[in-house]
Structure 1
Amino acid sequence: MKIFAYIRVSTKEQNTDRQHEALREYEGTNKIKFNAVFEDKASGKDFDRPQYKVLKEIIKPGDILVIKELDRLGRNFMDTPKELQYFFERNIKVKILDTPLIDTGDDKLDYTINNMLIGFLSYIADKEREKIQSRVKEGLKAAKDNGVKLGRPERTIPDNFEKYYKRWKIKEITAIEFAKLLGISRSTLYRYIKEYDI
């Protein structure tokens, strides 16, 4: 039997110290040493993560997978229970440190209870993500309602555009020369011309 641990944060800027500390404490309390600790800095919305894929290739029936919190494994209500089902069906125990699973000693009962608990926790994790997304949308709407312009700033036609435009219009200068005089690309020039001609 081997014991593996998995750590995940969503971005490179986020810190993994809290998860590492919880895993070290688990090792000390249980007088064990992890065979390997896998770590990803990637979103939890799906399971397309480099180290997680390696973990799934290595872990075998009878092994144990330890994670600090359920949402470190995944934050997707639909897929997280399926992922846990994958481990349970292969007789791989998943231990969530912040939510110790009930251990009755009866494998069938444990399997049922664990599935129910995992489904419930996955639902909560997904609802939390929806709540964050909803707050972001509300914030953007409030900003828009208050006159804040969102997205890329609008490009304004240069002040000296009209002077060179008139020369270009009577074929005194070419489009290439026109663009060079403004210090812009030809594609930008034609966009400005289109805007100006409206």
Structure 2
Amino acid sequence: MSVILYARVSTADQTIEHQETQARNAGFEIDTVVADHGSSGLNTLLRERAEGRRLYDMLRKGDTLVVRWVDRLGRNYQDVCDAIREFMRRGVTIRTVINKMTFDGATADPIQQAVRDALIAFMAATAQAQAEATKEAQRAGIAHARAKDTKYRGRKPTYDRNQYQLVLDMLAGGAGASAIAKASDLTRQTVLRIKSAPDQAEAALLAWGH
């Protein structure tokens, strides 16, 4: 039985090492890291990614699949639901670092199955909605940055791209500002500013070349 971390990064500002460190700091003893680089979770299905295909080949009954959150598997609602249910049918346990969720096929009780499947569907839908919201924030951020005097970039943001994305991911997962601040190593006020105006937060990163 193996513990496999699946990590995915879609931009140069994100790192596999960050996701692995988060998982280990959360207490997971990782045997193998499977990682896809520069891969969109919205437009590319898990099976279509090079390491995603490898993940399907590797996972066996009794294995544990660890992901930072379900959006690392993908941001396409149907694809994420299909992947998790396929892995559970194989006897694989899926665990998330954020919110410490656990999904498996152990229960035979139909009500518990319904609750589990509804939660999976909710998380997958949230991942897709967050991806679409992030793209919209990026478009708005670019427009906001272009509308400003290019010689004036404003104050340098106190967060980087990884922290910004982590804040958005945890907000999508329903986490509170204090928990997000602790996980991202940002102040609570910074988290609340990003939450209230993600397009302006995106614009600040773009203005400073992030």
Classify the TM-score, shorter chain.
0.5 to 0.7
Report the counterpart of residue 87 of structure 1 in structure 2: 87
Q: More displaced, 93-102 or 131-140?
A: 131-140
Give the aligned length: 141
Q: 1:77 to 1:111 in 2, by over 3 A?
A: same
TM-score of the superposition, structure 1-length normalised? Answer: 0.60
The residue type equivalent to 2:121 in the other structure is G
Q: Distance in 1 between matches of 2:103 and 2:144?
A: 48
Provide the C-alpha distance between the structure 2 equivalents of 1:10 and 1:136, rounded to a whole number of angstroms. 14
Provide the residue aligned with 1:36 in structure 2: 32
SS at match of 2:4: strand
How far did 1:137 drift? 5.0
Stretches of structure 2 that go unaligned for 5 or more consecutive residues are: 148-210
Q: Please tell me whether the aligned partners of residues 6 and 66 of structure 2 are also in contact (alpha carbons under 8 angstroms).
A: yes
Match of 2:158 in 1: none
Partner of residue 119, structure 1? 121
Contact 1:70–1:122 (8 Å) recurs in 2: yes
Whichever residue aligns with residue 58 of structure 1, its letter is M
Secondary structure at 2:133's aligned position in 1? helix
Gaps of 5+ in 1: 147-198
C-alpha displacement of 1:116: 1.5
Asked if 1:75 corresponds to 2:71, the answer is no
Q: Which amino acid aligns with 2:115?
A: I
The Cα shift of 1:132 comes to: 2.5
Q: Match of 1:23?
A: 23
Q: Is the 8 A contact 2:81 2:124 kept in 1?
A: yes
Amino acid at match of 2:88: F
Give the residue type in structure 1 aligned to 2:40: S
CA distance in 2, matches of 1:91, 1:75: 23
Cα offsets for 1:115-167 (capped at 9, x unmatched): 211110111111111212334555678899x8xxxxxxxxxxxxxxxxxxxxx
Aligned partner of 1:131 among 110, 129, 133: 133
Secondary structure at the aligned position of 2:108 is classed as helix
Which residue is 2:56 aligned to?
Answer: 56
- For 1:97 and 1:39, the matched residues in 2 are separated by 16
Range with greater deviation from structure 2 (134-143 or 87-96): 134-143
Deviation at 1:22, TM superposition (A): 1.7
One-letter amino acid of the counterpart of residue 5, structure 2: A
Q: In structure 1, how many angstroms separate the alpha carbons of the residues matched to 2:133 and 2:22?
A: 27
- The two structures have a TM-score, normalised by structure 2, of 0.57
Q: Which has the larger radius of gyration?
A: 1
- What is the identity percentage for the equivalent residue pairs of Structure 1 and Structure 2? 26
User: Corresponding residue for 2:96?
Assistant: 96
Kindly state the Cα deviation for residue 102 of structure 1 after the two structures are TM-superposed. 5.7
Which AA in structure 2 matches 1:18?
H
Q: Are 1:102 and 1:114, in contact at CA under 8 Å, matched by a contact in 2?
A: no
Superposed CA RMSD: 2.9
